Copies of this chain bind each other. A is one copy, B any other.
Amino acid sequence: MQRVKIKELLGNTTAMDKVLVKGWVRTRRDSKTFSFMELNDGSCLKNIQVIADVSLDNYAEVVKLTTGSAICVEGRLVASPGKGQKWEIHADHMDIISMAPEDYPLQKKRHSDEFLRTIAHLRPRTNKYGAMFRIRSEMALAIHQFYREKGFRYLHAPVITGSDCEGAGEMFRVTNLDLAGVATSGKMDPSDDFFGQEANLTVSGQLSAEMFALSLGDVYTFGPTFRAENSNTSRHVAEFWMLEPEMAFCDLDGNMDHGEELIKYLTRHAMEQCEEDLSLFTKFVDKGLSNVLSVLVNEPYERITYAQAVDILLKSGKRFEYKVESGIDLQSEHERFLAEVYFKKPVFLTHYPKTIKPFYMRVNDDNETVAAVDLLVPRIGEIIGGSQREERLDVLENRMNEMNLPGEAYWWYLDSRRFGSVPHSGFGMGFERFLMLITGVTNIRDVVPFPRTPGSIDF
């Protein structure tokens, strides 16, 4: 007999004489001659109620079933008289697959997010984290669906890299040198390492994506990226997933149009496809969530320049922790003020000073600003960062010289401007930040299956 998942059963339109379900007992309570179990198999948020009675040959065992135990039930799917549940199962036969001991940590009570982080291997068994990781899965698929419909190609950009896209430097090193041996011998020669030179974990797949956009047209990468930043905040993890579309023959306006379309598509998809799981977050995590989602989907996003943004911040009269002045790199508090308080909706900022942006962004005619664009959203701040890329070889080389970047290391990148260079644009969207945005969850550790942070690499 074929096992049916609970999600399917709950969506059934008719009663059934014989069904087979397998899952884990969330709670159990007994009446005189019945035992009522809430059974969950992870396929959806809701449990199905299973009713066992004394006619079961192993009823004496069944009434000992603990929270977290695994069972296999054969029975009848019948309309439930209970509130909030359409169907229940009357068990004809029950196999106990495993009995969870009493010290199972997920007893029926509220557990703090902090505690649940210490058992990240078990937390997807809770309502909240089950819902979170089903949403995460569905949103990852929505990204692929969106890009497939638009004719983009998916690129697996390399994770181990010899180059440093941002010119940042907060990269993890990848090595197969024997570090204890290095300490003992006092010798460390990168040419002895696996790749014959220093290698790092990528901070962005952009440069790879540019090469492919200039070949296949429209592409995107979606994969893990890394920062060795030693900051223990609710917004930083060392390993996170980033979506990076890159489009040939696309300028800054096209880039913004694309970003707005993306966020709207994904949010609408979440509202339609993850309704049940999202309702948990609306109810228990952020009462204002429905409104946030509605703004994301329905409002046209604002588009202003960096200079206008600075002006708004200066005139706001608000005291910020970091002082606002023209030329500064905006802080999270500034970004959130603009999106959350001032515009009350997402806002694109363009034309940043070139001094605070990477070498590959296209220099504007004023020679002071670049065709950068960030999308700021309420409660999160920056969710998208991108630009039109510098397609002019001479301008690009000048910028690299100004910033002391070694042209030789980027010979292949420069090649793309030598041969068939075209205007092109792209951006990066932090996947975790997007998940925080649509669920209201405020700590990034709680949207990542097994978060990696300074000093923490359990599981």
Residue ranges of A at the interface with B (Cβ–Cβ < 8 Å)? 3, 5, 7, 22, 24, 41-43, 68-70, 72, 97-98, 100-101, 104-106, 119-122, 124-125, 130, 133-134, 136-137, 140-141, 144, 148, 151, 153-163, 172-177, 179-180, 182-188, 194-197, 199, 201, 208, 211-212, 214-217, 219, 223-224, 226, 228, 230, 238-239, 241, 248-249, 391, 412-413, 415-416, 418-423, 448-450, 452, 454-459
Contacts and interface: CB of A to CB of B under 8 A. Distances in A.
A251 to B, nearest CB: 12
Contacts of A413: 121
B101 A418 contact: yes
Given A121-B412, A173-B177, 11 more contacts: A7-B151, A119-B412, A122-B415, A122-B419, A137-B155, A160-B452, A162-B457, A173-B175, A175-B179, A179-B188, A195-B456
Nearest to A240: B156
A173 B180 CA distance: 12
Nearest to A41: B217
A173 B201 CA distance: 11
5 contacts: A22-B249, A42-B215, A98-B421, A122-B211, A137-B153
Contact of A186 (B133, B183, B421): B183
Contacts of A238: 160, 194-195
Among A22, A159, A176, A177, find the residue whose CB has the most chain B CB atoms closer than 10 A: A176
A251 B229 CA distance: 43
Contacts of A41: 217, 248
A43 B151 contact: yes
Contacts of A454: 194-196
Contact of A194 (B214, B228, B459): B228
Contact of A188 (B160, B176, B180): B180
Among A70, A124, A137, A456, find the residue whose CB has the most chain B CB atoms closer than 10 A: A137
